[in-house]
Structure 1
Amino acid sequence: MKRVKKNEVFEWIKAIVIAIIFVVAIRTYILTPVLVDGASMMPTFEDGDKVIVNKISKKMKKYERFEVIVFEAMENKNYIKRVIGLPGEHIAYKDDLLYVNGEPFAEPYLEEFKNKLIDNGTLTEDFTLEAYTGELAIPDGYVFVLGDNRRNSSDSRDPRVGLISLNKVIGKADFRFYPFDKISFFK
């Protein structure tokens, strides 16, 4: 009887250790939860939202325009922002409209926010890539990111953040799991 109990305890310990290793491996290499800190991505994400970041996406494909990524920023802090400009591109904003290599691009995810502006001003000020970065085109291995709350965001326009090295990208924000009434997947 003692031997049976000893084997049962060993099997439980073995199962728990395997489960812990499995969870650590998934969190380290595939998916990780991230807490949204601040209002820079409003209305897409609110302060306190929790998202799942897909870390494997960074190894599988290149990031696309308008995807939301999480990256290592200044002060060992992670930021969540939207990819606006890709390597080799020139970006500019004029009259609240994004231009990539001179071609206009709509940003439908911002329409609700623009409509709520009480001062009837623009959400995104007029600027060019060279005005903020000194570059005529985004260098290989970098992206230009903006928060959706363009008036209140530390992003690639901020010299302390600047262009984001793809080596600093943790992954793509794929899924919001909290608050529960806003559970959703993202492109």
Structure 2
Amino acid sequence: MNNKMAETPINKSPNSLRGWILFILAMAFIIFVYRCTIGIQLISGNSMNPTIQDRNAVLISKLFFNPDKGDIVIARDPHGYNIIKRVIAVSNDTVSIKDGITYVNGKALVEPYTSGTSEDLEEIKVPENRYFIAGDNRTLGESLDSRDPSVGMIPKENLIGEVLVSLLPSKIL
């Protein structure tokens, strides 16, 4: 009777080391892609109702985006918070609000996605490399956005990303 226990060889081959290195590189690449090119943002608040509700999760593009009128973006406001808003006007556009209707360059915007009525705003010009953004919920006090002097127009460098899709609940925006 042989009392020797069966020994399992420990694999210390170069192939094993190569596998670990490839795994670590793949994980670093995935983390880089997630942190620098795309992201998931959990929404807090009702400023984008009815389009996006409180506690929705959205997928955002952080790379190669050039927001235009109507796009939904995540931006850092002057108070240091990430906010989700719709781009209403871009550099050199003029914006005004009269009787709850938003005008860009003198033309009334058709905004079927909004709720509530916005307060009036005298015509202002959007400076170079800035954006006029507003929440879809235009009820007074529901959205802290470019209509409020404490936020104003958002500099291009404060734009974090463009919203691509709502993940939960799923909805193409």
Q: State the distance in 1 between where 2:99 and 2:54 align.
A: 28
More helix by percentage: 1
Q: Which amino acid aligns with 1:57?
A: F
Q: Percent identity?
A: 28
1:138 aligns with 2:126: yes
1:39 aligns with 2:63: no
Q: Aligned-pair RMSD on alpha carbons?
A: 2.0
After TM superposition, give the deviation of residue 76 of structure 1 in Å.
Answer: 2.6
Distance change in 2, residues 1:19/1:76 (3 Å): farther
1:84 aligned residue: 88
- TM-score, with normalisation over the residues of structure 1? 0.79
1:99 aligns with 2:120: no
Q: State the distance in 1 between where 2:172 and 2:147 align.
A: 28
2:120 aligned residue: 126
1:68 aligns with 2:55: no
List gaps (5 residues or longer) in structure 1.
115-122, 130-135
Flag the structure with larger Rg. Answer: 2
2:135 to 147, 152, 159: 147
Q: Is the 8 A contact 1:57 1:171 kept in 2?
A: no
Q: Which amino acid aligns with 1:146?
A: A
1:171 aligns with 2:161: yes
1:185 aligned residue: 172
After TM superposition, give the deviation of residue 42 of structure 1 in Å.
Answer: 1.0
More strand by percentage: 2
Q: State the distance in 1 between where 2:42 and 2:167 align.
A: 10
Deviation above 4 Å: which 4+ runs of structure 1? 5-9
Q: Report how many residues are paired.
A: 164
1:30 aligns with 2:37: yes
Q: State the distance in 1 between where 2:165 and 2:159 align.
A: 17
2:148 aligned residue: 158
After TM superposition, give the deviation of residue 176 of structure 1 in Å.
Answer: 1.2
List gaps (5 residues or longer) in structure 2.
1-7
Choose 12-21 or 169-178, whichever is displaced more.
12-21
2:5 aligned residue: none
Structure 1, residues 13-69: CA drift from partner, whole Å, max 9, x if none? 2233122211221123210111111111111111111111101233xxx32111000
Q: Is the 8 A contact 1:57 1:172 kept in 2?
A: no
SS in 1 for 2:54: coil
